[in-house]
Every structure is written in C-alpha cells, then in structure tokens.
Amino acid sequence: MYHYVRDMHETDYPGIKGLLIKKFLGQLDYIIANYKVISLAEYVDFLHGKTEIPDNSAILTFDDGLKDHYNTVFPILKERGLTATFFPITQAQTDQVVPGVLKAQFLLAKIGSNPFAKEFNYLLEKDFPKLFNQYKVTDKEKMEMKYRWDDPLTANLKFSIGTLPGEARTKILNKIFPKYFDNEKNFINDLCMNWDEMREMQEAGMSFGGHTHTHPRLAELDEEAQKQELVHCTDILTKNLNKRPTLFSYPYGDFNNITLKLLKELGYDGAISTNVAVNQGRVDPFNITRMDTNDIPFENSAK
Ligand SMILES: [Zn+2]
C-alpha cells in the first residue's frame, strides 16, 4: 500500500509523510527479487476461482490519485515492466476540490499537529458545540491504532477529522485550509493526477479502481449516502477512463455490509482494505489485506 512517493525534503512540504524515491526503488528491487508482481485484477480472478497465480505473488497499489504516481511511480514501473493499480479520489479532478483527507495532511505538514489541533478544536466548539465532546482532539491515548506511525495527538486529529460528520468536516477544513494555502485549484493540479495522465497510464497497462468521491469513512454513512459516494465515483471513472471500474479500495480501510452489498450491485469484483496481513489462499475478494510500505524491507539484502 503506497501513498506519497517523493523526496519530501526537496519539496515545499518536507513534513509530508511519504516514501523517498530511493527507498521506493530499493523496495521494488526487494519485491522483484522475492516475489512475482501480478495485477490486482489477476489476483481477484484467482480469488473467484477463475485462474491460478504463482506462489509468492505480490500486488502494487497506490491510493489517492497523487501526482507522485504519474510523475515518479509510473516511469519507474514502466521501465521495470511492472503493473499496478491506482485509486484516485474522484472529487479532486472533477470538482477541483482538495479532498479533506489531503487538506488535513498538508495542514499537518505545514503548521504541525499542535496549532492545527488548536484551530480545529476552536472551530468545532464554536460552530458545532454539540459535536465538541465527542470529536475534540487531545493527546491522550490513540483512538485508532491503525495510525501506527503517528504520535497520539496527530493520530487523534486524523481520526476526528476522518470520523466527524461530513458537513462539519468540510466546513471546518474549508475555514482553516485557505488561511495557509491560497489557490486551491492550482494546488489540486500540482497535487493530483489529471484525467489525461491517468488515461496515458491506463494505455501503458496500469489499472484504476474506485476510492469514493470524497474519501469518507463509509461505515459512518447511511445506505443512501454510501450509495451516492459509490455511484458517483463509479460513473466519473467510467466516463473519464472509458472503462467501468471493477476494483475498489476502502478509504481508511473502513466498510460494512451495506458497502459490500452496494459494491456488488455496482459490478465490483473485489476490494482492498488497510488491515495489515499477508493474504494466504483464497481469501474473501472484498477483504484483501495489505502491507504498509513500512512493513517491507527497503533493499534486497540477498544481493
Ligand atoms: Zn485514501
């Protein structure tokens, strides 16, 4: 499971949590030496009993539709003859809006978790007093252990932003973000891949899957709101990539039975979560687990 692949220290946002290009290259060496890279679609076919795959297969996935994936990852994969699946957040290019999850990452990188949590708590108490007690951010123990690489304050800030009802999240982030980032449209075009880039990647053998329209925690939404997210992102991907998506990545790894029902109705064949485990045998095609890049060696020591 990859997100940012960049040399953070050479960008305007050295605080972004990403993977250095050199480490990415080393990790690919390790993966190529020890595994056979197949596509996620091939793996899902295997899970449905339609095909066989080599032992020690590995799959590369990239979430959130970041420009890093076009600028950096795509040329490297092409050169090595590897394929991968990418999961863009459709709101970014269609509405020219920076999705809340990415706004939060850049605010964290630019101003740090302490000032960000203070502004967040202030606006929450002022504008949404009824939500304050449940969602206020503290540096007490982590509310969600999935944020393995963050300190408690940062983990809790990400968790509160992720779980806050959508309207409150959007309003609060839309108040804080413009104070520190002046042109959202330019920002989105620097940060996220556009449709031309994604089509070029698709023609070169890369695949794309659904990751919702606005990147909510799906299990927090009722059926109607989940349906809207899934239908919208499916329609946008189908229209812009001339191909109906059949693979899905759950934002934050979060889903419930309603999500599963809707994905199947929409013709999806499989989905990946953020639960950390190796998949052994024919696992549930809608609950494929993933290793974080930090769980895998960054060089091939056998060399
Ligand atoms: Zn995501």
Low-confidence ranges of the chain (pLDDT < 50): 303
Quote the ligand 1 centre to 242 CA distance (angstroms). Answer: 22
**How many whole angstroms from 264 Cα to the centroid of ligand 1?**
20
DSSP-based three-state secondary structure for 192:
strand
Beta strand extents in the chain (DSSP E only): 36-37, 57-58, 61-64, 85-88, 207-208, 247-249, 270-272
Distance 122 CA to ligand 1 centre (A): 27
**128 C-alpha to center of ligand 1: Å?**
26
* pTM of the model as a whole: 0.94
Gap from CA of 159 to ligand 1 centroid (Å): 13
Number of helices and strands in the chain (H, E): 14, 7
CA of 283 from ligand 1 middle (Å) equals 22
Cα of 18 vs centre of ligand 1, distance in Å, is 14
- What is the 252 CA–ligand 1 centroid distance (Å)? 6
pLDDT of residue 303: 47
Cα separation of 11 and 225, whole Å? 37
| Max Cα–Cα distance, the chain, nearest Å | 58
CA of 301 to the centre of ligand 1 (A): 31
The pLDDT assigned to 302 comes to 53
Cα Rg of the chain, angstroms: 19
Measure 52 CA to ligand 1 centroid, in angstroms. 29
List pLDDT tens digits, range 197-218.
999 999 999 999 999 999 999 9
Q: Given this model, what pLDDT does residue 148 score?
A: 82
Residue with tokens 């203070």: 118
Angle at alpha carbon of residue 241, lines to 7 and 228, rounded to 5°: 95
Q: What is the pLDDT of residues 14-47, one digit of tens each?
A: 989 899 999 999 999 999 999 999 999 999 999 9
Q: What is the pLDDT of residue 162?
A: 85
Cα(46) to centroid(ligand 1), Å = 25
Distance CA(58)–CA(270), nearest Å, equals: 16
pLDDT of residue 142: 83
In angstroms, what is the span from residue 63 Cα to ligand 1's centroid? 5
Tokens of 78: 């092409």
94-120 pLDDT, tens per residue?
999 999 999 999 999 999 999 999 999
